[in-house]
């Protein structure tokens, strides 16, 4: 199982270069995708799912171009979109059965998998309720469940934990980690902690280019001398924020701590000892 993009570029009709000579390879595991709005994340997902055509380059699955594989490749994909689109008068179970039919599952397979997956995302008690009565978080779980129909080899999740409460987020995150041994899972999100917890590797995308492709640990180690902090009083925060545009205010051990990133240690600051992926995001996308 190997998915590879080679020198892939995408230029839209307005001459915007959304993806620029993009090369990356995936095998079984979880891959976090991070980048600001407009970085090229959605374009990357749409190219892999064959929703849009590339301008140049190759996308290969086990050495074969996905355009030649066509429907045989698309059948291997499970996709959870960011935008929630439903037939609101359908029940969750009816929607799952409908999606299973579109994916070519037999009626028997559809029934078994629909029930099992709704159980997995804790929606069995409301499986026959209309989707229009669901909260945003419940709708997110329906979207995740339908993406898993047919046991896809490639699972693409766009903001999978958006709208979920902390308990639901942890449950979904744990489930994603559990099924990753025999799947390529691409997870695009702004919830950095989700990626930090479960991703094997992280793609950082900026202006259509792949700027980093490393493990979370390697990313945090790469900026361990770029993150600074200082214990401060509340009345100091506004002045510090004016001086340091890229910042984060946190409570640590009952004390208010002002954090910032940069290339040089500011006066009266110390090097942070607990660098995390959020710091990497701030340094790569807000500072550099």
* pLDDT reading at 288 higher than 80: no
Taking the CA atoms of the chain, what radius of gyration do you get in angstroms?
A: 21
Residue 247, pLDDT score: 93
Query: pLDDT grade, residue 254 (50/70/90)?
Result: confident
| Domains with residue ranges and CATH for the chain | 3-215 (3.40.50.300), 221-287 (no CATH)
* Residue 25 structure tokens: 């390879």
pLDDT tens digit sequence for 170-191:
888 888 888 888 999 999 988 8
**Listed residue (169, 170, 94, 84) closest to 135, CA to CA:** 84
Query: pTM of the entire structure?
Result: 0.91
Instruction: For residue 171, give every residue at least 6 positions away whose Cβ sits within 8 Å of its Cβ, in sequence order, or none.
Output: 122
Determine what percent of the chain is predicted with pLDDT higher than 90: 75
Residue 106, pLDDT score: 95
């Amino acid at each position: 199982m190997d998915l590879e993009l080679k020198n892939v570029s995408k230029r839209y009709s307005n001459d915007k270069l959304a993806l620029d000579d993009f090369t990356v390879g995936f095998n079984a595991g979880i891959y976090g995708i991070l980048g600001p709005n407009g970085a090229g994340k959605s374009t990357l997902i749409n190219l892999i799912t064959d929703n849009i055509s590339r301008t140049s380059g190759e996308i290969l699955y086990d050495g074969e171009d996905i355009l030649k594989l066509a429907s045989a490749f698309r059948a291997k994909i499970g996709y959870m979109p960011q935008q929630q689109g439903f037939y609101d008068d359908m029940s969750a179970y009816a929607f799952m059965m409908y999606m299973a039919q579109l994916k070519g599952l037999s009626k028997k397979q559809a029934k078994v998998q629909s029930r099992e997956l709704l159980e997995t995302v804790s929606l069995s008690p409301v499986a026959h309720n209309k989707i229009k009565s669901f909260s945003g978080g419940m709708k997110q779980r329906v979207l995740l469940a339908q993406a898993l129909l047919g046991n896809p080899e490639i699972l693409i999740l766009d903001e999978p934990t958006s709208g979920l409460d902390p308990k639901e987020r942890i449950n979904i995150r744990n489930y994603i980690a559990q099924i990753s041994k025999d799947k390529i899972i691409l997870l695009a999100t702004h919830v950095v902690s989700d990626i930090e917890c479960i991703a094997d590797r992280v793609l950082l995308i900026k202006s259509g280019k792949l700027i980093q492709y490393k493990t979370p640990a390697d990313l945090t180690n790469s900026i361990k001398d770029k993150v600074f902090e200082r214990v401060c009083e509340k009345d100091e925060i506004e002045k510090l924020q004016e001086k340091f545009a890229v910042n984060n205010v946190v409570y640590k051990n009952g004390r208010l701590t002002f954090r910032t990133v940069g290339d040089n240690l500011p006066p009266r600051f110390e090097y942070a000892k607990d660098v995390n992926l959020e710091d990497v995001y701030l340094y790569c996308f807000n500072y550099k």
